[in-house]
Structure 1
Amino acid sequence: MGKYKNPSLTTDIFIFDAKRNFILIKRKNEPYKDYWALPGGFVDYGECVEDAAIREALEETSIHVKLEKLVGVYSDPSRDPRGHTVSIVYSAKGNMEEMNAADDACDINIFTKKDLKKINLAFDHENIINDCLNSIQK
């Protein structure tokens, strides 16, 4: 029997505060090395997506987060140059004062929507960030 090609499953986390500021990490590795991105990564086999989101947030930002809500699922086959990945995106809250770049992140910072035009963003994260900001509007 032949092998089937399946997309990889990832999760991204939009960590924000009451002023709609949000955290991005600078990627340590290719693809998009030195580009800014939402914290996130691959879901491990046997792991719930929600647990993966919480784990990835902690690994890359050092922040213990509480997931707020599911923002969306992003599945364009060309969104990741490594191959077809599907990302499940959550908004989350956590103590942003605890932020510290770790794991696959070489830097971390707090941004506003206005900052997006001044930075290089990885993958389709500008679209995802805009969807996240729209989902938390008051």
Structure 2
Amino acid sequence: MAYRNPAPTVDIIIELTDRPQRPIILIERLYEPLGWAIPGGFVDYGESVETAAIREAKEEIGLDIQLLEQFHVYSAPGRDQRKHTISIVFLAAAQGTPMAGDDAKHFKLFNLWELPENLCFDHGKILQDYWLYRHYGRRPTLG
């Protein structure tokens, strides 16, 4: 029997610290599943999750980021319709003007209270958890 393991991914909630209200960056995906997403992607073999987060941010939005902390791990088997993934979510800061690249069709800056409805994967849940953390200091619970 062949083993089937989940694929490790990273998602990076990036606040632009040089703008009022510190908006976050979301990308509109170029490939399926279509919609808005937190920048991120798959961890390459031999790469740390921290290095993957920095690389994915540079590829998708063209900015160098400063990783601030690991936020939470999301691993529900159905979180990605393509296959079972485990995402390590990071909080990061950046400055400058983003540029859509790699598999990002567009980017847009959003305040946490004005998010688009068509979020991909479980990114609505992730951003809701982040909103609670940012405003009330409540981290997501396990389970």
Contact 1:60 / 1:104 at 8 angstroms: preserved in 2?
A: yes
Q: Which residue of 2 aligns with 1:56?
A: 56
Q: Displacement of 1:107 after TM fit?
A: 0.3
User: 2: distance between equivalents of 1:28 and 1:17?
Assistant: 23
Matches within 5 A, 1:1-138: 2-18=1-17, 19-31=21-33, 33=34, 35-95=35-95, 97-116=96-115, 118-137=116-135
Unaligned runs of 5+ in 1: none
Contact 1:71 / 1:135 at 8 angstroms: preserved in 2?
A: no
* 2:9 counterpart letter in structure 1: T
TM (norm. structure 1) is: 0.90
Which secondary structure does the structure 1 equivalent of 2:89 belong to?
Answer: strand
* 2:121 counterpart letter in structure 1: F
Which secondary structure does the structure 2 equivalent of 1:16 belong to?
Answer: strand
Contact 1:57 / 1:63 at 8 angstroms: preserved in 2?
A: yes
User: 2: distance between equivalents of 1:113 and 1:26?
Assistant: 16
Q: Displacement of 1:134 after TM fit?
A: 2.8
User: 1: distance between equivalents of 2:113 and 2:133?
Assistant: 17
* 1:10 counterpart letter in structure 2: T
Unaligned runs of 5+ in 2: 138-143
CA distances 1:91-113 after superposition (whole Å, capped 9, x unpaired): 00011x32000000000010012
User: 1: distance between equivalents of 2:76 and 2:15?
Assistant: 25
- Structure number with the higher helix fraction is 1
CA distances 1:43-97 after superposition (whole Å, capped 9, x unpaired): 00000000000000110000100001111000000011111100000000011x3
Q: Displacement of 1:20 after TM fit?
A: 4.1
CA RMSD of aligned residues (A): 1.4
* 1:30 counterpart letter in structure 2: E
TM (norm. structure 2) is: 0.87
Count of residue pairs brought into register by the alignment: 133
Contact 1:43 / 1:52 at 8 angstroms: preserved in 2?
A: yes
